[in-house]
Amino acid sequence: MSGISLRGVSKRYGSVDVVHGVDIEIDKGEFCVFVGPSGCGKTTLLRMIAGLEEISGGDIFIDGRRVNGIDPARRGAAMVFQNYALYPHMTVEQNMGFGLRMNGHPRAEVATRVKDAARLLQIQDLLTRKPRQLSGGQRQRVAIGRAIVRNPQVFLFDEPLSNLDAELRAQTRVELAKLHHQLAGSTMVYVTHDQVEAMTLADKIVVLRAGVVEQIGAPMELYESPANIFVAGFIGSPKMNFVNVSAERDALRLDDGSQLARPQTKTAPQRLGVRADQLTIIDPEKGAIRGEVSVVERLGDSELVHVRTAWEQEIVVRVPGGTNSRVGSTVGLALAGRVHFFDAEGQAITVTSQARTND
Amino acid sequence: MRSDAVEKDRGGLPALSPRVKRMLVSIVLAALCAIWVYPLIWMLFASLRPNAMIFADEGLIPSQPTLENYARAWTEANMGSYFFNTLFVTVGSVILVTIATAMMGYVLGRSSFPGRAALFGLLVFTLFVPQGYTIIPIFELLSSLGLGQSLLGVMLATTAGSFVIFVLLFAGYFSQMPDELEEAARMDGVGFVKTFWFVMLPLSKPIIVTVIVMQTLYAWNDFLLPLVITLANPSIRTLSVGVYAFKGENFIDWGGMMAASAITIIPVVILFLLLQRYFIDGLAGAVKG
Amino acid sequence: MAQTFTAHAVFLDRVWTHWKEYLFLVPGMLIFGTFIIYPMLASQYYSLLQWTGFDSNQVFIGFDNYVALLGDSFFWDAFLRSFVFTAITVPAQLLISLIIAIVLNDRLLRLSALFRTLIFLPVVTPVAVIGIVMAIMLSPFNGPVNIALLDAGFVTRALDFLGDPNLVLPTLAAIYVWKWTGVTMVYWLAALQTVPRELFEAARLDGVRGWQVAVFIILPMIMPFAIVITLISAISALNVFPLIQAMTQGGPFFASEVMEVFIFRTAFAPGGGAVPQLGYASAAGVFFGVAIMVLTILQIVATRHLRSVERSRAV
């Protein structure tokens, strides 16, 4: 049974297409994250689901019901805004209960529902305060509380953590994940440009670029087998390394002339992608790629070693913490794990049999 | 060694500490303000003197203060009933104009209905029409509505005084409010009218205060319109017109005149004192937008 | 045909989806239409009439009123006087109020709120009251101003400020500035609040002090507001009727008769004697209104032009 489904949804502002015929199925109870760079149409999509933005083409169904043209309040969805959008002149309690009271719910019922939501979010002590007396994190909770009070089938989050500092963001992220379990059964759609949030929170990630869905899948699915260069580069930190290769009969030639074994593929690979932790630093004489260490980022548990290749490209390698790589030293790199290949259009190429790459 | 960043003494005078400087500024300002409000202070004290002592050479403070001027002005010169006439005109026009301009400014500031640009243009255009230009048709119109000699007519016509400026103040203020507030209300299922009343209007308090103060000042002091409308009907005079007529009718009763003047000023002075902080903040909030 | 029909339908549909907004405009439009738009249009019609009093017949006479105006020296004197009055009062009022506002904007000045209120007091004082009090203050017979001037030795003989045709207009201008400086001061204070405080602190650390702060930091920052404030002040100075009516009724010998006093006198003929000429007064009002509008537009165009010249120089 489907929670939300988008079929051929598009959005046009005048003559500018911002969303081009998007199809997305979100299951009931699923936590779905729309992720992509700014301007990719993710927020527009969310606002179309909410009903704040008109749908130019296609259909949106919530719980099997076509909601095009239905008033936002009657779609069974609640939204948490980027800037919280709390009413500055009302107390926390009034903010949370405002929608219910305005729609004629009895005072006592509103009070219990507000109390329940406040307990869930541990903001019982803040109920009589005004928004300007709250910290950013507290405002965030109140905004979520306002959504919970309405008991919606669908929660919509529009970059809810982007105004918080790094520490609070990490903390709130964990709490949102907990909340999703506590509110089992409610579907959540969450928009962010931060792939870490997407990876940590999502059951399903939708990667968008320029109004087009690049890939839909579970976090590890996107991480392990990105459909194209864009997804490969967007998901995962540090960013995947890409190296240009030219395909020869049974080898792949790098820009400095060194060779790698060619895997068996249908089309000829043009680029090779490898994540930082799938590379190892070895003796310069033995490595497939040679380069000079330019920067070392020490993260504690690991080190990110930036290696400058003969063709002036920076490749990042993750090595265990305490390795103490020396800047300026010449090293060799070996492909030590999964390698991704992409064709001229940037689409991933399926490898029919992975060639041995390390030696 | 002396760096350029060290404060240099430019004028040759010994540098004064900021505190001493502020004290000097305060003394100069105090002297200036004393001269500035001298006529009004004089009026206030004169209103407490018996008529025979008004121009007596006894200094500013009256030696035998009395309230009889007030009693006389209030009853004999009808300042009492003029006071309530003015109160009616002021309160009525403040209520009407605040509601009407807030609603209009809300729609102009937050909605893109067809015809919005044209209406904006028309409003700004009329800003430059002098009042003397419109008084004749307004009087004619009120007469044909049967309000040519009534307080209701004065009150209604007084709403137009700074109408356009108020609409532009509200429109500017509402247009800079975040869209998300309105969208949050929409998601909550709160309709257009309720959103205006429960969310937008309470948030525009600074502008509401500004409009109330400005319209009160305008209505309380307005002269031309009430003068024309009450020419034939002295019983509906406002304080402004009443004081003016007092001068013509009882020109030797200086004490009564001063008392009548004081009665006219005191309420608005009190209002301004109470609201001045909000008033300036409100204007600042409005010009920022 | 079909296309224009659909365009029409789309437009009507857009209008219909906004019906609540239009409903919200109703109260405002009633005031705006009745007391602002209608009088503007009606005045233009009246100006084409011969019409002597509200009870008399209206005779359509085309542009005869305008032709008569062009040859009426009272009209031209009043017309000119209005602009002279504006030219004297506006710069004085703007400068005095700006200086006061800058001084009072200092948050550490403890009595700032008190001074602000005192400066503002004349604003809340009705003109009728000012008329009475100022007549006493400026009286040639032992008025406090004359006493002070005589004591200080500035004059040898008491001046008849409101009775001397040569003194009356400057005197009224001074009273006008006194009355309205408080409002302009409040506008300036509001504009000054928009200047970020860090800017003053940065200037102090840079060693910029006193008048330099005003000239190099405050003025450029509040320039956009200055244009609006100047415009508002200029428009109000052209609407000086109440003050002059209360003080001198345009006298002595029409020496202080500005445009609106002229309109009031010809339209209503208060005090009897003359015949009210509503059509003629309307023509004067229309002429004056159009002249102000033309000047306002010229001023806006000129400032835009100056600004674009400045910008092209800056690049």
DSSP letter string over C58-75?
EEE-TTHHHHHHHT-HHH
Average pLDDT over residues B205-231: 86
Nearest to B280 among C130, C190, C242 (CB): C190
Contact list, B178 vs chain A (CB under 8 Å): 83, 85
Give B76's contacts (C-beta < 8 A, 6+ positions apart).
B256
Q: Is C38 close to B159, i.e. CB distance below 8 A?
A: no
Q: How far is B42 from chain C (nearest CA, A)?
A: 8
Q: Quick check: C3 pLDDT over 70?
A: no
Nearest-Cα residue of chain B relative to residue C226? B287
Q: Does any domain span residue B17?
A: yes
Distance from C-alpha of A321 to C-alpha of A329, rounded to nearest angstrom: 18
* Closest chain C CA to residue B287: C191
pLDDT grade for B2, boundaries at 50, 70 and 90: very low
Residue B113 CB contacts under 8 Å (≥ 6 apart), including other chains: B107, C14, C15, C18, C21, C22
By Cβ distance, the residue of A89, A99, A146 closest to B203 is A89
Distance from CA of C306 to the nearest CA of B (A): 22
B186 and B261 both lie in a single domain: yes
Domain count of chain B? 2
Do residues B141 and C34 touch, judged by C-beta distance below 8 A? yes
pLDDT of residue A35: 94
Query: Which is it for strands A264-265 and A271-274: parallel, antiparallel or unpaired?
Result: unpaired
How many CB atoms sit inside 10 A of residue C94's CB?
20
Q: Which residue in B187, B199, B202 is closest to A73 by CB distance?
A: B187
Q: Residue-wise over A21-42: b if at least 16 C-beta within 10 A, else e?
A: ebebebeebbbbbbbbeeebbb
Burial A229-257 (b: 16+ CB within 10 A, else e): bbbbbbbbeeebbbbebebeeeebebeee
Please give the pLDDT value at position C27. 93
- The set of long-range contacts for C270-277, using a CB threshold of 8 Å and a minimum separation of 24, is C270/B231, C275/C52, C275/C53, C276/C52, C276/C53, C276/C54, C277/C51, C277/C52
Name chain B contacts of C288, Cβ cutoff 8 Å.
130, 132-133
Q: Say whether domain A2-226 belongs to CATH 3.30.1390.20.
A: no
Same domain, B147 and B98: yes
pLDDT, greater one: C55 or A76 = A76
Q: Are A2-226 and A241-349 the same fold in CATH?
A: no
Beta strands at A314-320 and A302-309: parallel, antiparallel or unpaired: antiparallel
Q: Which of residues 137-166 of C touch B (CB under 8 A)?
A: 137, 142, 144
Residues B31, B79, single domain; the answer is no
CA B261/CA B244 separation, integer angstroms:
10
Same structural domain, B40 and B89: no
DSSP H or E stretch at residue B184: helix B179-187
pLDDT confidence tier of residue C270, bands split at 50, 70 and 90: low
pLDDT at C313 over 70: no
Between C21, C117, C124, which is nearest B268 by CB?
C124
Of B188, B198, B199, the CB nearest to A73: B188
State the greatest distance between any 2 C-alpha atoms of chain B, in Å, as a whole number. Answer: 86
B110 and B231 both lie in a single domain: yes
Asked if B187 and A79 come within 8 Å (Cβ–Cβ), the reply is: yes
Strands A204-209 and A31-35: parallel
Measuring CA to CA, how many Å separate C222 from each of A119, B171, C191, C215, C219? 50, 21, 6, 11, 5
Read off the DSSP letter of residue A186: -
Compare CB distances from B261 to C20, C46, C132 and report the shortest one's residue. C132
- Asked if the Cβ–Cβ distance from B199 to A87 is below 8 Å, we say yes
Q: What is the CATH number of domain A241-349?
A: 2.40.50.140
Half-sphere exposure of A245 (CA within 13 A, CB side): 31
B193 contact A CB<8A: no
**Shortest Cα distance from B58 to chain C (angstroms)?**
13
Terminal Cα distance for chain C, rounded: 52
- E strands, A28-126, are 31-35, 57-62, 65-66, 77-80
pLDDT at B266 over 90: no
pLDDT of residue C229: 84
Q: Between B8, B107, B141, which is nearest C34 by CB?
A: B141
Q: Is-cis flag, bond preceding A131, omega within 30? A: no
Is residue B243 located within the same domain as residue B185?
Answer: yes
CATH code of residue B198:
1.10.3720.10
Residue of B nearest to C38 (CA): B137
- Quote the CA–CA distance of B173 and B151 in Å, as a whole number: 33
Sign of CA dihedral C304, B105, B190, A93: positive
All domains in chain C, ordered by first residue: 72-130+165-260+281-314 (1.10.3720.10)
Q: How confident is the model at residue C59 (pLDDT cuts 50, 70, 90)?
A: confident
E strands along B130-257, which residues? none
Contact B220 C263 (CB under 8 A): no
**The residue count for chain A:** 359
The arithmetic mean of pLDDT across residues C76-85, rounded, is 90
- When pLDDT is averaged across residues C236-258 and rounded to a whole number, the result is 81
Calculate ∠ Cα B76-B77-B83, nearest 5°: 115
Chain C hits for B103, Cβ within 8 Å: 24-25, 27-28
**Chain A residue nearest residue B193, CA to CA:** A102
Q: How far apart are CA A201 and CA A183, in angstroms?
A: 14
In-domain check, residue B187 = yes
**B6 near A CB under 8 A:** no
- Report pLDDT for B9: 45
Interface test with C, best of B104, B112, B133 (most C CBs within 10 A): B133
* CA–CA separation, B45 and B41 (whole Å): 6
Burial class (CB in 10 A: 0-12, 13-18, 19+), B34: exposed
Chain C positions touching B192 (Cβ under 8 A) are: 20-21
Q: What is the DSSP letter of C251?
A: -
CB contact under 8 A, B97 and C268: no
Please, are residues A243 and A271 in contact by the beta-carbon 8 Å criterion? Answer: yes
* pTM metric for this prediction: 0.81
Taking the C-alpha atoms of residue B158 and residue C183, their distance in angstroms, rounded to an integer, is 20
* A99–B203 C-beta distance less than 8 A: no
Question: By three-state DSSP, how is residue A294 classified?
Answer: strand
CB contact under 8 A, B181 and A87: yes
Task: From first to last of the 359 residues of chain A, give the pLDDT tens digit.
Answer: 458 999 999 999 888 889 999 999 999 999 999 999 988 899 999 999 999 888 999 999 998 899 988 888 888 899 999 888 899 999 999 999 998 888 889 999 999 999 999 998 889 999 999 999 998 889 999 999 999 998 888 999 999 888 888 888 888 888 899 889 888 888 999 999 999 999 999 999 999 999 999 999 999 999 999 999 999 999 988 899 998 888 887 778 887 777 777 777 778 888 889 999 888 888 887 777 888 999 999 888 888 999 998 888 899 999 988 777 788 888 888 888 888 989 888 898 887 655 444 44
The pLDDT > 70 percentage for chain C reads 91
Residue B181: its chain A contacts at CB < 8 A?
A: 85, 87
Residue B27 amino acid letter: I
- Least CB–CB distance from B180: residue in A71, A74, A83: A83
Closest Cβ opposite residue B181 in set A52, A85, A150: A85
Could you tell me which of B50, B73, B46 has the C-alpha nearest to residue B60? Answer: B46
Interface of A with B (CB under 8 A): 50-52, 71-74, 77-79, 81-89, 98-99, 102-103, 146, 150
pLDDT band (50, 70, 90) for residue B4? very low
pLDDT at residue C29 tops 90: yes
**Gyration radius of chain A's alpha carbons:** 24
Q: What residue of B is the nearest CA neighbor of C28?
A: B100
8 Å CB contact of B190 and A102: yes
Q: Where are the domains of chain A?
A: 2-226, 241-349
Task: Please report whether residue B65 resides in a domain.
Answer: no
pLDDT category at B13 given cuts 50, 70, 90 is low
Distance CA B72, CA A77 (A): 70
**Contact criterion met (CB < 8 Å) for C28 and B100:** yes
- Rounded to an integer, what distance in angstroms lies between the CA atom of residue B35 and that of residue B59? 15
> Choosing among B45, B134, B147, which should be mutated to test the C contact, i.e. which has the most C CBs within 10 A?
B134
Which of B189, B202, B205 lies closest to A73 in CB terms?
B189
**Arithmetic mean of pLDDT over chain B:** 83
Residues B38 and B173 in one domain: no
Q: Do B198 and A150 touch (CB under 8 A)?
A: no
**How close is the nearest chain A Cα to the Cα of B171, in Å?**
19
Judgement on whether residues B156 and B30 belong to the same structural domain of the protein: no
Q: Which residue has the tokens 């503007």?
A: C40
Distance CA B250, CA B230 (A): 18
Residue A61: predicted pLDDT: 93
pLDDT confidence of residue B10: 46
What domain range is B207 assigned to? Answer: 73-287
Count the neighbouring beta carbons within 10 Å of the beta carbon of residue C182: 23
**Which residue, among A54, A81, A96, would best test binding to B if mutated, counting the most B CBs under 10 Å from its CB?**
A81
User: How would residue B132 be classed by pLDDT, with cut points 50, 70 and 90?
Assistant: low
Give residue B8's pLDDT.
46
Q: Does B5 touch chain A (CB under 8 A)?
A: no
CA distances from A38 to A31, A209, A241 (A): 21, 9, 22
User: Which residue among B223, B224, B276 sits closest to C117, beta carbon to beta carbon?
Assistant: B276
Residue B143 pLDDT grade (very low, low, confident, very high; cuts 50, 70, 90): confident
Which chains does A contact via 3+ CB–CB distances below 8 A? Answer: B
Whether chain B has a CB inside 8 Å of the CB on C238: the answer is yes
Cα–Cα distance for residue pair A9/A61, rounded to 1 Å: 11
Beta-strand runs (E) in B155-264: none
Whole-number pLDDT of residue A206: 95
Domain membership of residue B80 (yes or no) is yes
**Average pLDDT value for chain C:** 82
The DSSP bridge partners found for residue A86 are none
Residue pair A328/A209 in contact by the 8 Å Cβ criterion: no
- Helix boundaries (H) for chain C: 2-17, 19-32, 38-46, 64-70, 73-104, 112-124, 127-137, 144-152, 168-193, 197-205, 211-213, 219-238, 241-247, 259-268, 278-314
CB contact under 8 A, B184 and A87: yes
Residues 199-218 of C with CB under 8 A from B: 207
Q: Which amino acid is at B135?
A: I
Is the Cβ pair A79, B194 closer than 8 Å? no
β-partners of residue A191 are A34, A158
Taking contacts as CB-CB distances below 8 angstroms, the residues of chain B near A151 are: none
Q: Give, in degrees to the nearest 5, the angle at Cα A6 between A4 and A12.
A: 135
pLDDT bracket for residue B14 (50, 70, 90): low
Give the Cα separation of B75 and B194 in Å (integer): 47
For residue C196, cis peptide bond before it (omega within 30 degrees of 0): no
Q: Per-residue pLDDT for B5 more than 60?
A: no
- A16 three-state secondary structure: strand
Tokens of C173: 């201008």
Mapping DSSP onto H, E and C, the string for C116-181 reads: HHHHHHHHHCCHHHHHHHHHHHCCCCCCHHHHHHHHHCCCCCCCCCCCCCCCHHHHHHHHHHHHHH
